[in-house]
Amino acid sequence: MIAFAEVSIGEAPETPCVRCAKGTAAAMRPAASVLQDVTRVCDSWSDGPGPNVALVGAEPFAHPELPLLVQGAARAGCERIRLRTDAGALPSGGNAAGVVAAGVRHLEVVLLGGVAPVHDALVGRAGAFDAALAGVAAFVSAAGAAGSAVAVTGRVPVCRHNRDEVAGAVAALAAAGAIGVELAPAAGTALDEDRLRSARETAVVNGVWLHVAGARDLAPWRLVGGAS
């Protein structure tokens, strides 16, 4: 099992659901500050193959210095770099080929629902669902063209507005090629046993790992001490 240290590139609402976030904007951290944290992770790494860093906290393709972040992480010695992203920017402008060339080998793709009308309404952007799936396909295609092995996992932030969509989101991520999915309930949001059972059964049928954030069940990737 591969361990990742999470490094925040910015602060964003706990869930991208626009009904919860109420227009709260993300605040990005300067690249120099992020890379200081990445360097600390690399210098102190002692947890098996790596060092491996997951860039989280805000949409990476909204960060004005994303190329510098990825290139800097690679130069610092990161063996694996993972982006947590809505994947919507990947199909355009050579972004998929660019991140692969820069050293990104893992994507953690965020979905709020299993079909376009639900996901698009919850994130407040028409076409977001289709763009996410196209982004995953572009990333995998670019990696294949470059001869690079990559992995895709999924993340489903759970709030009161999408609790009934969790199983559908798991199915959509599995169909897109995710090998594992993490359910991440927001503070004050609980998943009852029926919804969890449905999500687990969906994961089993589709051959993907399912992990609930904060639980002790097996996850496809293990988190180690990172930097905030």
CA 63 to chain CA mean position, Å: 15
Q: Is the pLDDT of residue 217 over 70?
A: no
Q: What is the mean pLDDT of residues 13-23?
A: 83
**Confidence label for 82 from pLDDT (cuts 50, 70 and 90):** very high
Which is the CATH superfamily of the domain at 2-227?
Answer: Aldolase class I (3.20.20.70)
Check residue 165 and give its pLDDT: 94
Tens-place pLDDT, residues 125-136: 999 999 999 999
Mean pLDDT along residues 41-70: 92
Phi then psi for residue 185, to 5 deg, are -65, 135
Is 0.85 surpassed by the pTM of this model?
yes
Q: Using CA atoms, how far apart are residues 121 and 127, in angstroms rounded to an integer?
A: 10
Q: For residue 123, how far is the Cα from the chain centroid?
A: 15
Q: Is the pLDDT of residue 204 over 70?
A: yes
Give the β-pairing of 151-158 and 180-185. Answer: parallel
The more confidently predicted of residues 62 and 221 is 62
CA distance 160 to 170: 17
